[in-house]
Amino acid sequence: MSGKERLSASVDAELVAAAQEAVAGGQAESVSAWVNDALRLKADHDRRLAALDSFIAAHEAEHGEISEQEIHDAARRARARAVVVRGRPAGGRGAA
């Protein structure tokens, strides 16, 4: 891992409290470690979104723009394949 660099930043009070609670609860080694993890997650998230954007742009360049109907149909198919892990399935009252 590369070296560390000191950072000065203004952070919302509730986020500082969350970091301190994570340290007190043993979920983080220090506030700095908690902030490092958060920044790493954000950087990874942004990289994934950029990759998805590139993938969609390439797909649309080859196959045309994805329509609202195609998005709706894909969401409907995904919901139909979803596995309910708690609660009742949508549209049902729970058969015995």
Lowest mean pLDDT of 9-18, 32-41, 52-61, 82-91, name the range. 82-91
| Sequence-ordered list of residues with C-beta below 8 angstroms from that of 23, at least 6 positions apart, any chain | 29, 30, 31, 34
User: Which phi and psi (to 5°) does residue 10 adopt?
Assistant: -90, 130
Mean pLDDT throughout 10-21? 97
pLDDT given at position 88: 72
- Average pLDDT of every residue of the chain: 91
Q: Are 66 and 56 in contact (CB under 8 A)?
A: yes
Prediction pTM value: 0.70
Question: Each residue of 46-60: pLDDT tens digit?
Answer: 999 999 999 999 999
HSE-up (13 A, CA, CB side) for residue 14: 0
pLDDT given at position 80: 94
